[in-house]
Structure 1
Amino acid sequence: MQKRNNYIEIEDFLADESFQLWILSNVDEQGWEEWTLENLQRAKLVEDARLVLLAMRVPESHLSSNEVHEALQKTWRKIEQREELSQNTSKIRKLKIQRYWISGVAAAVLVCLFSVWFFKNDILPNDNVVTYNELIQDNDEGLVEQTNNSEKSQIITLSDGSSVLLQPNSKLSYPKIFTGNERKVYLSGEGFFEISKNPKKPFFVYANEIVTRVVGTSFRIKAYPDQQNVEVLVRTGKVKVKSNNLVRNTDSKEIVLLPNQALRFVRKELVFNKITNITQDPILVSSVRNIEQLSFEFTDIPVAQILETIEQAYLVDIDFPHDKLKDCRLTTSLSDQPLAEKLKIICKSIGNDTNYEMNGNQIVITSSGCN
């Protein structure tokens, strides 16, 4: 039952048979009530899942506001009792304030949650929906998870030098160090990937129902759990896309994508639609980001301008000695390199003990000047 400690979405609970048994038949063989009351944030998520599950059992209508209110009151009373035993009075006062606010908007929240459930169960075929949690549970490499809850993209540098520009409301799981003959990561949401070349160790991105295989290239994957389509767009290099082995009744044939080509996987119909000219697809055109359209080919360009381009592409802040580098100009190609490799090439080209340090979205370059 330890897997439930990783439940972060409503559908995780809804897919758990022991949770269904507890809610629908009041049979708590796995200690759900005790586990729920251990944590306030967990209790709220469990209560939302409970309401959705009950709503799914109502054929003609949603739960009434009185039923929602009574259910919430019962749960909050149990939580308050547990907190009183711990003599945590400050949390209880906050809890009471939250209780009345939540009960007032519970009906509206329930409608939204039920809509998500309806999408999962009516628009998407249950047998073929692959969740992020299912993907990472199949991996035994000791994954690190990075979640972007901010309002702007975050840069992630992997152990092989590859970089991922992770968009808001997205998460990525990856091993601290890639071992074996493959490099595997798991995406929920949207990320732009720049993969370090290693023909002997292909790179795989698992996202919803598809798997993207690359050796060294740059591409974008958009795979949110509540959207109907999964998109893969290639900027440089070549990728191969196929359906995940967890998906039933699909063709396992790989689809090859070249630069400026894309693929849209329709999750309901399990259909791959290849797009050979992305400029003719309004949805793709409207979603293009700076990193996908800025050029990284530089001919006799000031270093400051090159670094500014990198800032715009990756949405990072670069601090460097302007006075020492004001007369430095470079000619270089950085189009098919991860961010870390781009910075290494720039520093090596400048010379004179030029180095960089990267901490999240902050980059500091030190230098004595150019050669």
Structure 2
Amino acid sequence: MQQRNNYTEIEHFLADESFQLWVCFKDDQQDWEEWTLENSNRAKLVEEARLWLLAMKVPNTNLSTEDVQYALEATWEKIERAEENKNGTSRPIIKLWRNNWFSGVAAVLILSLLSGWLYNHYIAPENSVLTYNELINENEEGLVEQTNNSDKPQIITLSDGSSVLLQPNSKLSYPKIFVGNERKVYLSGEGFFEISKNPKKPFFVFANEIVTKVVGTSFRIKAYANQPNVEVVVRTGKVKVRSNQLIANSKDELIVLLPNQALRFVRQNLTFNKITDITQDESLSHSASNIEQLGFEFTDIPVAQIFKTIEQAYLVKIDFPQAKLKDCYLTTSLSDQPLPEKLKIICKSLGNNTSYEMNGNQIIIISDGCN
């Protein structure tokens, strides 16, 4: 990677595959960010190359090299004109496409690497479904938005007792109190849902292109705006999934998922792929979190060990009076309950005025000991 120290033109960066991965997919295995910050002059050139890369608007079709060159050169000229208007001075346009090698090779390379990314960001099909921002703007309930900008999952407890383990770089919008005969939340990113059972009030998760309907179950939805697929993975219970487009067309086609099944919505062609055994899908198997793998069936188990299992599953911290509970053992099933319900069951089983307080990812157990 020392060759990048000799980069003096924007096309040098655009032809570097690791640079493309860093800008478009935040894959910084070559430490581009650190390298950029080492030199202010270098940083300016890197920023120009980054903006140029992000500004490209090339459809995901079988275009010829000439078409690609024309589209990209037109975009670059727009950027230059905007700079001239902004600064009131002209600046030389870098003749990026006068280099035959670059126009013939780099354009094709960039197109192949970025076609999926550009499709998601800029050229969603005309018949595409509503996005997260459009969905919440249409909602009239007065939503609360929770954004996880940290590097760890965050627990969100909803008014009905349901809980959501929200992953980093994700956001969830939900009403303070569920009213009416439906419960609706909106997700962009990834979250693990444990839904409080209420057959009279079904629960809907709107995650960009798809809608997941449940009554009471646990499942994971992965719906990042900049990724090619949306996934729903069921741990317990049953869910029904359909696309927003189907709802808009008043169709009632639903795909039913049972435990250990999944659905992958492919954005490029708006298709659903049902996976009947997630263990046979390498991507899904590797992405399973602790909460999806740990068991919550306890038979005569020390309460301290139960708390430890919950800590590992939800990545929370539980403080409890260890001395008072050291001889307490429980037999209970906590497999299909949201986190607040799990804690209520444990506290009720312990008795003796046992209760809990929850503040974000911090849980405090108050108890005088077990019966």
TM-score normalised by length of structure 1: 0.71
Q: CA 1:251/1:121 → structure 2, altered by over 3 Å: closer, same or farther?
A: farther
Q: Which residue of 1 aligns with 2:72?
A: 60
Q: Which residue of 2 aligns with 1:255?
A: 255
* Cα displacement string for residues 235-272 of structure 1 (whole angstroms, at most 9, x for unaligned residues): 00000001114777796410110001001011221211
Q: Which residue of 2 aligns with 1:165?
A: 165
Answer yes or no: is the 8 Å Cα contact 1:128–1:248 preserved in 2. Answer: no
Answer yes or no: is the 8 Å Cα contact 1:294–1:313 preserved in 2. Answer: yes
Q: Partners of 2:200 and 2:193 in 1: how far apart?
A: 19
Q: Which residue of 2 aligns with 1:334?
A: 334
Q: Partners of 2:129 and 2:280 in 1: how far apart?
A: 29
Answer yes or no: is the 8 Å Cα contact 1:127–1:248 preserved in 2. Answer: no
Q: Partners of 1:250 and 1:175 in 2: how far apart?
A: 25
Answer yes or no: is the 8 Å Cα contact 1:52–1:113 preserved in 2. Answer: no
Deviation for aligned residue 1:73 = 5.1
SS in 1 for 2:285: helix
Q: Partners of 2:117 and 2:141 in 1: how far apart?
A: 31
Q: Partners of 2:321 and 2:264 in 1: how far apart?
A: 44
Q: Partners of 2:156 and 2:163 in 1: how far apart?
A: 6
Deviation for aligned residue 1:312 = 0.4
Q: Which residue of 2 aligns with 1:120?
A: 121
* Cα displacement string for residues 285-315 of structure 1 (whole angstroms, at most 9, x for unaligned residues): 1100000000000000000000000000000
Q: CA 1:353/1:173 → structure 2, altered by over 3 Å: closer, same or farther?
A: same
Amino acid in structure 1 at the alignment position of 2:72: E
Q: Partners of 2:344 and 2:86 in 1: how far apart?
A: 56
Amino acid in structure 2 at the alignment position of 1:212: T
Q: CA 1:217/1:340 → structure 2, altered by over 3 Å: closer, same or farther?
A: same
Q: Which residue of 1 aligns with 2:347?
A: 347
TM-score normalised by length of structure 2: 0.71
Runs (4 or more) in structure 1 with deviation over 2 Å come to 51-56, 58-74, 111-122, 245-252
Q: Partners of 1:210 and 1:168 in 2: how far apart?
A: 20
Deviation for aligned residue 1:69 = 5.7
2:292 equivalent to 1:292: yes
Q: CA 1:266/1:249 → structure 2, altered by over 3 Å: closer, same or farther?
A: farther
Q: Partners of 1:214 and 1:266 in 2: how far apart?
A: 22
Q: Which residue of 1 aligns with 2:283?
A: 283
Q: CA 1:142/1:119 → structure 2, altered by over 3 Å: closer, same or farther?
A: closer
Q: Partners of 2:119 and 2:275 in 1: how far apart?
A: 29
Amino acid in structure 2 at the alignment position of 1:59: A
Deviation for aligned residue 1:54 = 9.6
Q: Partners of 1:300 and 1:274 in 2: how far apart?
A: 39
Superposition map of 1:152-191 within 5 A: 152-191=152-191
- The number of equivalent residue pairs is 286
Q: CA 1:184/1:67 → structure 2, altered by over 3 Å: closer, same or farther?
A: same
Amino acid in structure 1 at the alignment position of 2:71: P
Q: Partners of 2:266 and 2:251 in 1: how far apart?
A: 13
Give aligned-pair identity as a percent. 71
2:234 equivalent to 1:234: yes
Answer yes or no: is the 8 Å Cα contact 1:263–1:273 preserved in 2. Answer: yes
Q: Which residue of 2 aligns with 1:79?
A: none
Q: Partners of 1:341 and 1:223 in 2: how far apart?
A: 26
Superposition map of 1:133-212 within 5 A: 133-212=133-212
Q: Partners of 2:278 and 2:188 in 1: how far apart?
A: 23
Q: Partners of 1:332 and 1:368 in 2: how far apart?
A: 20
Answer yes or no: is the 8 Å Cα contact 1:186–1:207 preserved in 2. Answer: yes
Q: CA 1:357/1:248 → structure 2, altered by over 3 Å: closer, same or farther?
A: closer
2:214 equivalent to 1:214: yes
Deviation for aligned residue 1:130 = 2.5
Amino acid in structure 2 at the alignment position of 1:334: L
Answer yes or no: is the 8 Å Cα contact 1:352–1:367 preserved in 2. Answer: yes
Amino acid in structure 2 at the alignment position of 1:307: F
Answer yes or no: is the 8 Å Cα contact 1:321–1:366 preserved in 2. Answer: yes
CA RMSD of aligned residues (A): 2.9
Q: Which residue of 2 aligns with 1:223?
A: 223
Q: Partners of 2:240 and 2:128 in 1: how far apart?
A: 21
Answer yes or no: is the 8 Å Cα contact 1:128–1:247 preserved in 2. Answer: no
Amino acid in structure 2 at the alignment position of 1:339: L
Deviation for aligned residue 1:60 = 3.2
SS in 1 for 2:286: helix
Q: Which residue of 1 aligns with 2:20?
A: none
SS in 1 for 2:72: coil
SS in 2 for 1:60: helix
Answer yes or no: is the 8 Å Cα contact 1:163–1:338 preserved in 2. Answer: yes
Q: Partners of 1:181 and 1:369 in 2: how far apart?
A: 41
**Structure 1, unaligned stretches of length 5 or more?**
1-47, 75-110
Amino acid in structure 2 at the alignment position of 1:364: I
Q: Partners of 2:364 and 2:323 in 1: how far apart?
A: 15
Amino acid in structure 2 at the alignment position of 1:234: V
Q: CA 1:288/1:53 → structure 2, altered by over 3 Å: closer, same or farther?
A: closer
Please identify, of 331-340 and 59-68, the stretch whose mean Cα deviation from structure 2 is larger.
59-68
